[in-house]
Amino acid sequence: CSSDAVVEDNAADNAIQFSAAAGKASRAADYYCNANLPADFHVWASVNGKQYFADETYAKGKGSTYSITGGVERYWPNEEISFFAAKNYDAFNWNVATASTMTITPALAAKDQKDLLYAYTVSNRGTNNNFNAGKAKLNFRHALSQVVFYALNENSKIYVEIENISLNNAAATGTFT
């Protein structure tokens, strides 16, 4: 480098961080919502159609701020960056150029089931609606739904006991694209 070369500033305040939100809570045993955000999640990123980093773990710090743990600190590039984040998946096949897929096999016991969360955002260091105080905003969505059955009997003189409920043709595993 010559003394005239400009070097990007990789100071701590330029490190990629996230702020997270998770919509309404689901019915899974391990549920997430804004009042109960996940302790960590995995993030994949691309810049200009090329991988920037893959499968890095970001852990919760103060409030809803998430920073990298155990990996190499990543810094904001000057270009727009695409982020995909996920929590509680079995396998993830991330592809920058085509659709990515995530597989999940829910636990059979309801008490062991977990929410499958995902988030996608495009952000940069400039001013936009997906960037706030050095953090990209990730709005997590629930990718699975739990089926719940209710029985209603408004007559107190009649006792109803449900012997069996059957749900047919439900997949035991699935791929989320």
Q: How far, CA to CA in Å, does 93 sit from each of 55, 90, 104, 107? A: 10, 10, 12, 21
End-to-end alpha carbon distance in the chain: 44
> Per the confidence metrics, is the pTM higher than 0.85?
no
CA dihedral of residues 46, 39, 143, 33 (deg, nearest 10)? -120
Tens of pLDDT, residue by residue over 76-97, are 888 889 999 999 888 888 888 7
Spatial distance between the Cα atoms of 89 and 101, rounded to a whole number of angstroms: 10
Tens of pLDDT, residue by residue over 18-57, are 988 887 666 555 667 777 788 899 999 999 889 999 999 9
Q: How far, CA to CA in Å, does 6 sit from each of 13, 105, 136? A: 18, 49, 25
